[in-house]
Amino acid sequence: MSGIVVVGSANIDQVFSVDRIPSPGETVLSHGVSTALGGKGQNQAVAAARAGAKTCFVGAVGADNFGEMVRAGLTADSIDVTQLRTSHKPTGTALIAVDGTGENTIIVEPGANSEVTVLTSADAAAISAASALVMQLEIPLKTVVEAARVAQAAETLVILNAAPIQELPRVLLDALDVLIVNEHEAADLARDNDVAPELEGLGQRLLALVPTVIVTLGSKGASLHRVGSAEVLVPAHRVTAVDATGAGDTFCGAFAAGVIEGMSADDALRFAVAAASISVENHGAVPSIPLRAAIETRAKESRQQVTD
Ligand code: ATP
Ligand code: RIB
């Protein structure tokens, strides 16, 4: 397959709307709760597929209703689920509080995601035949490392969104072509790897670890850093944010889709920033991920704003 393989998590998100995120020891009342498809792996697979990429998802769900919802959702987005296993553990779930400004806090119970402990030969074959492998850190790290090494050997582009952040072994860093992190993850990674963690110039300094680094900057947009090139900053579109859940995932999936269809890294960055700006205007993770036509319209609007 010449598309994208995502190796990662799939969750069902229980999203509580609150005025403000509770502090430790505090109870707040919610205005409502909704259930939606989520999980960083599933979100990124859906984002890549809706942005136009042929996509395959490798992960695990439980033998339960939530697992059926995930399978049906991925299939509805034309994502290949041949490699999706059914585990004896329940489907992963996330408890999410979203406040009035669209900010969130998330607790994830991995469930079946923790059972993605080995790659099958079919997984490895799919990764080797793909143009890009996209991963996050909600499944066992050992599997992430194994998948990255399979991809590296096959010259499949390896993109890691290092979220939620944890210490990364050198063998994984060495296999990465593109690292995507938010500012907090960038600072943690720097601290763990003897790179000065101050935010100023951090993306450029992380090039000591990976040849291409993208730092997502929330409402400020995203910056691209490549060995031997100047930093590129793409400002975010000005939107009314209602829910940031999955914005980073939308960004990653759209960026990967742009790159494998031949966009330059700069253009893929603009495409991803446009996609993510739409996701924050809408509620939920998977429900807020835009289709390609909407991304193109948003990207064109921003080009017009620049020329006007
Ligand atoms: P999340 O964990 O909420 O999915 P993240 O922390 O991984 O997100 P962010 O840097 O917050 O990543 O957001 C990812 C991208 O989404 C940003 O680079 C930006 O393009 C877009 N984005 C986020 N917040 C906003 C906003 N308020 N307005 C416009 N675009 C936004
Ligand atoms: O990045 C957002 C995702 O993080 C949510 O969909 C939630 O499931 C957690 O994995």
Q: Which residues pair with 233 in a beta bridge?
A: 223
Looking at residue 199, its pLDDT comes to 80
Find the 275 Cα to ligand 2 centroid distance in Å. 17
Nearest to 301 by CA among 271, 281, 262, 280: 271
**Dist. CA 2–CA 115, nearest whole Å:** 27
> Ligand 2, from 40, 98, 249, 252: best to mutate by most atoms within 8 Å of Cβ?
40
Consecutive H or E run containing 233: strand 232-234
Looking at residue 198, its pLDDT comes to 85
- Check if 249 is active-site: yes
Find the 268 Cα to ligand 2 centroid distance in Å. 23
Looking at residue 162, its pLDDT comes to 98
What is the block-wise mean pLDDT of the chain (308 residues), using blocks of 10 residues?
Answer: 93 97 96 97 98 98 98 98 98 96 94 98 98 98 98 98 98 98 96 88 95 98 96 96 96 98 97 98 97 96 58
Residue 16: half-sphere exposure toward Cβ, Cα within 13 Å? 16
Find the 77 Cα to ligand 1 centroid distance in Å. 23
Looking at residue 191, its pLDDT comes to 94
For domain 4-21+33-307, the CATH class is: alpha beta
- Within 6 A (CB) of ligand 2 lie 9, 11, 13, 38-40, 43, 94, 106, 108, 138, 245-246, 248-249, 285
Domain regions of the chain by residue span: 4-21+33-307
Looking at residue 305, its pLDDT comes to 55
Asked if 232 contacts 221 with a C-beta cutoff of 8 angstroms, the reply is no
Looking at residue 308, its pLDDT comes to 47
Q: Whose CA is nearest to atom 1 of ligand 1?
A: 248
